[in-house]
Amino acid sequence: MELISLPALRAYWSSKDRLSEQSIHEVDWLSLACAMKAFPANLQLWTPKHISGMTGVGKSLAIWNPWAKSSCPRCSSCQVEDYLHVPRCSAPTAAAEWSKRHLAFRIWMQTRQTAPEIEAVLFEYLKTVLQPSLGVPTVRAWSRQPHLFQSAISSQAKLGA
């Protein structure tokens, strides 16, 4: 699915403040195109929607259906549920779902014999998705992670959560 890396699509994302001109250069578009081809068709269609923030959350549902509510269905504190609210939702069912998926991801990485250092860096970064107050891992990880990890974390921080 080469569409995800088309210059016109990149320009559109930039105009919607999803990718800055600087962050566009942080993406390895050739590797992304190769990875996309390996995905099943349903994931090829889902990925660009996820990247652009058009997911099945309240904000998007209210755009697609004027009768839909934009608020979070799990908690009463969020009036406009967006993709960033989902992992940060304070409802007990949301926290349980995050823990379940976190564990499944960790098991998946271990069954594929992911290097423990890579696993540690990824889960360090995932903590900041849940708790943005922790700050981007670049601040905490620079002194104890190898150069390639530092570079990857820095690129991801430029791209956003």
Domain range enclosing 47: 1-52
pTM of the model: 0.65
3-state class percentages of the chain: helix first, strand second, coil last, to nearest 5: 65, 0, 35
pLDDT at 109: 92
**Per the domain annotation, does 98 fall within a domain?**
no
**Per the domain annotation, does 126 fall within a domain?**
no
- Please list, in sequence order, all residues whose beta carbon lies within 8 angstroms of the beta carbon of residue 146, skipping any fewer than 6 positions away: 117
Q: What is the pLDDT of residues 95-104, one digit of tens each?
A: 899 889 989 9
**Per the domain annotation, does 115 fall within a domain?**
no
Cα torsion 83, 87, 90, 94 to 10°: value is 110
pLDDT at 96: 93
**Per the domain annotation, does 20 fall within a domain?**
yes
Looking at the 3D structure of the chain, how many domains does it have? 1
- Residue 137 pLDDT grade (very low, low, confident, very high; cuts 50, 70, 90): low
**Per the domain annotation, does 62 fall within a domain?**
no
Q: What is the pLDDT of residues 31-40, one digit of tens each?
A: 888 888 888 9
Measured in whole angstroms, the distance separating CA 136 from the mean position of its chain's CA atoms is 14
**Per the domain annotation, does 16 fall within a domain?**
yes
